[in-house]
Structure 1
Amino acid sequence: MRALASAPAKTILFGEHSVVYDEPAIAGAVNKRAYVEITESKTDKSILKSYDLNFEAELDTKHKKYNLKRGKPGIIRYILEALNKVHDHSPIVMKLSSNIPIGSGLGSSAAVTVATLAALYRFHNIRFNKKSLAHDAHMVEQAVQGIASPLDTLVSTYGGLVYLSRNKKVEHFKVNFNAPFVVGYTNKHGNTGKMVKDVRLLKNRNPKIINPVISAMGQLTNYAKQAILKRDFDKIGELMNLNHGFLDVLGVNTLELSRMVYTARECGAIGSKITGAGGGGSIIALCPNSVDEVARGIAAEDNVLKIRFTRKGVSSRVYK
C-alpha cells in the first residue's frame, strides 16, 4: 500500500502572536507545498527520508525517538508526534519532500504535520474530514511547541485566504485577492516555540503595556478584513506597516528582518512586515506594481520567493 498527501505553506498577513491570545488573524495558503509518501517497510525498521532536506533517520514511533543517519533533526519532532498519535507502530518508510523553506515563517511544520496526518489516515484507512484533520494537526503542533495557534494548520488544511475570529470561527474570503506578494527570508531560521514563549514572558512581565498592544493588533486585523473585502490595497499596505511596528514592540524583530522590510518599502512595496513568529524567518511585502524591483532589492542580501495565494488545501490518496 502507498499513501500520498500534500499540504500548502501559509503566510500570515495579520495577527501573528496576538492570535495566540484569542485575537483575530488573517492568513492564506500559498503555492508552495510539502509532500509525504508512506509505504510498508521491507525491514523491521521505520525509516524517514528526505532528499530535499538531506536527512535520513530510523524512527522509534512508539517512544517518539529517532536515530539520525544524516542531516539535522528539525521537522522530525512533528512527524514523530503525528506518528505516535495515529500510527500502529508497524515498520514503514516515509518520504518527505518540500519546496517550503524550513524555518522561514511560511508554516513548514504545519504543512508537514497536516500532510503526514493525512497520509497516515489514508494508510490506515481511517475516516477523517478537514475539521478533524485541522484539529489533530493543531494538537501535534501544540505538543511539540508547548503553545501554538491553530491558524497555520487550519490554513494548510483548508487552503484559501481565511479570517479567524476571536471565537475561532473561520471565514473564507470570497473576494478575488490574487495580489502579488514577495516573501524575503534569511538563512537564520526562526524558532516558533521559543518566540511564542518569549512573547508570553514579556507579556507577563509588562501586562499593562503589552496587553493593549495585543488588543490593538486584533483591532488592526479587523480593519484589514474590511480593506481586503474592498480590495483597498493602499489601506492593506498601510496596515501591514503598522502591524510590523507592533511586532517590533513584542520583541520578535531582528536586524535581518528589519533590513528586508525597509528594503522592500524603498524598492516600491506599499506594505511590508514580518510574517510568522519572527526571530528569523520571513517578511512579506505587498507589491502591486513593483514585484521584480522588490525581489531584486531583497535578493541582494537575502533569499526571495514570489508567491500567490492558492485555494487548494490538503490533498491525499492511496494506492493498493
Structure 2
Amino acid sequence: MSDPEVVVSAPGKVILFGEHAVVYGRKAIAASLDLRTHLEVHLLPDSTSVTLELPDIHLSKTWQVADLAAARPTGDVDLKNPSPPSDQYLAALHRLAGTDADNTDTRSLALLAFLYMYTSIHTTARRCPAGRFHASSQLPPGAGLGSSAAYCTALAAGLLTMCDVITRQEGKNGADTTWGKDDLEVINSWAFQGERLIHGNPSGIDNSVSTFGGAISFKSGEISAFKSVAQLKILLVNTKVPRSTKVLVQGVRDRYNRLPAIMEPVLNSIEEISCTCEKVLQELGSPTVEIKENTQGKYYQVLEELVDICQCLLNAIGVGHPSLDKVSSITSKHGLHSKLTGAGGGGCALVLLRPDTAADVIDKVTTELRDCGFDVWETAIGARGVSQHS
C-alpha cells in the first residue's frame, strides 16, 4: 500500500438483443458501454478515518478506522474466491452503514457494498488504511445500464490493488492498463458479491461485462465472451420514464401463459436476432477479416434490420411505450434505427450510428430528442473493461 493514489474505472453495459426472451432460455447479447464509473483512492497515512464520497447520489460518509477494523470478519477470508457475508457479519455492516436489512434505497445499498469489500479485503492487513474514496459516474442510476455493477467493479479493482491482492499495473507513457485474466477473475468475483448485496440474486452478467469489457452472449445461465467485437457508435437515449422491471416481466409471462403458441415463435425470432448479431459483431471486429468499405455497409444494413425487427417483436410481447415510439419516430425521420434496451416500458433506447453518419444528422437527432425531455449521450459499445489509470 505504498502508492498514495489508485485511480480505476469500469464501464456500464447495454443489452443489444434478447431482452425478456432470455427469461425463457433464449440467447441474449450484452456489451460494455463507454460510459464509465471512476474511482479515486487517496490514502491518508496520518488520518484515522475513512471517507466515501458519491456525489452523483449526494452521499458522503465518514467512519473511524478503528470501527471498520472491529467489523472485519473473524474467520478466514479467501481473497481470491470471496463468499457472501454471514448474517452476523451483515448485521455489523448494517450498523456501520446506519441502515437496517429492510432498507433498499440506493444510498444504503452503495454504503453496504463498500463496507463489505473494504472490511473483507482488509481482513489480512495488519491495519486498515485511512483514506478517501471518491466515485463518480457517467451512468444514470436505475436506468438498466449497469451502474451498480460498474460501481462494484471499480471498488473491487481499487481495493484489491491497494492491498496488493492483484498485480499493480504500470502503463507506459501514461497509458491506461488492465489486468491479466486471473486477476480479472478475482475482480469479477468480488464485484459479483457486491452486486448480490445490492440486487439479491443477480445473473452475474452486468459485473462480467463491466470487468472484461467487449461483448458477451448469455443463455440459460451460461456466459460466453466474444473473441472479438466491433466497437459500434450509438446514441443512448434515456426517456426518464420510470418503469418496474418486475411488472414488465410479469406482463410478458401473463401474455405467454395466455398465448403460448403465438409467443413461442416470437421468442424464437428474438433469439435468432441475437445469434445473427453475434456473428456480425465478431466478423466486424475480427482482426483477421478484411472489411472493405462496401462490405462494412452490408454488415451495418443487417444490424439496422435487426434493430427494427427486434423493436417490433418487443412491442408485440408488450414491453413498448409511447416514449420509445417517439424515439423511433424521430430517429427514423433522419434515416437512423433505434430499439429499446433493457426492460422496456420507458427506460432507455439505443440508436445505431454508422461510421459515416454525418455529424449534423447526429446533432439534429440529439436536439430533437432532448427537446422531448430525454437525456442523450453519444457513446460506443464494446469498450474496454475495468482499467487502471496513471
Given the two structures, how large is their TM-score scaled by the length of structure 2? 0.67
Query: Which amino acid in 2 is paired with 1:260?
Result: V
Change (3 A) 1:83 1:121: farther
Does the alignment pair 1:253 with 2:325? no
- Supply the RMSD in Å over aligned alpha carbons: 3.4
More divergent stretch after superposition (30-39 vs 300-309): 30-39
Which structure has the greater CA radius of gyration? 2
Give the equivalent residue in structure 2 for 1:203. 253
Residues 98-177 of structure 1: pairs in structure 2 closer than 5 A: 98-127=137-166, 129-164=183-218, 168-174=222-228, 177=230
Residues 200-239 of structure 1: pairs in structure 2 closer than 5 A: 200=250, 202-203=252-253, 206-207=256-257, 208=260, 213-228=266-281, 229=283, 231=296, 232-239=299-306
Q: Is the 8 A contact 1:79 1:113 kept in 2?
A: no
List per-residue Cα deviations over 1:246-286 (Å, max 9, x = no partner).
333454433323322332222221x2111123344310011
Unaligned runs of 5+ in 1: none
Query: Which amino acid in 2 is paired with 1:314?
Result: V
Secondary structure in 2 matching 1:292:
helix
Q: Is the 8 A contact 1:159 1:310 kept in 2?
A: yes
Distance in 1 of aligned mates of 2:277 and 2:238: 24
Q: Which has the higher strand share?
A: 1
Q: CA shift at 1:108, angstroms?
A: 1.4
Secondary structure in 1 matching 2:222:
coil
Change (3 A) 1:43 1:279: farther
Percent of residue pairs bearing the same amino acid type: 26
Distance in 1 of aligned mates of 2:345 and 2:328: 14
More divergent stretch after superposition (120-129 vs 177-186): 120-129
Q: What number of residue pairs does the alignment pair up?
A: 309
Give the equivalent residue in structure 1 for 2:344. 278
Give the equivalent residue in structure 2 for 1:299. 370
Distance in 2 of aligned mates of 1:143 and 1:197: 22
Query: Which amino acid in 2 is paired with 1:306?
Result: E
Give the equivalent residue in structure 1 for 2:109. 77
Give the equivalent residue in structure 2 for 1:87. 119
Q: Is the 8 A contact 2:234 2:350 kept in 1?
A: yes
Distance in 2 of aligned mates of 1:205 and 1:179: 34
Secondary structure in 1 matching 2:208:
helix
Change (3 A) 1:97 1:237: same
Secondary structure in 2 matching 1:63:
helix
Q: Which has the higher helix share?
A: 2
Q: CA shift at 1:221, angstroms?
A: 0.5
Distance in 2 of aligned mates of 1:260 and 1:35: 30
Q: CA shift at 1:122, angstroms?
A: 2.0
Give the equivalent residue in structure 2 for 1:262. 329
Distance in 2 of aligned mates of 1:80 and 1:187: 26
Q: Is the 8 A contact 1:261 1:274 kept in 2?
A: no
Change (3 A) 1:112 1:218: same
Query: Which amino acid in 2 is paired with 1:203?
Result: R
Distance in 2 of aligned mates of 1:293 and 1:220: 29
Secondary structure in 1 matching 2:106:
coil
Given the two structures, how large is their TM-score scaled by the length of structure 1? 0.80
Q: CA shift at 1:67, angstroms?
A: 4.8
Q: Is the 8 A contact 2:251 2:318 kept in 1?
A: no
List per-residue Cα deviations over 1:90-144 (Å, max 9, x = no partner).
5654211112222333221221111112112223333462234334423433443
List per-residue Cα deviations over 1:54-98 (Å, max 9, x = no partner).
332457884236359xxx952651452353256248565421111
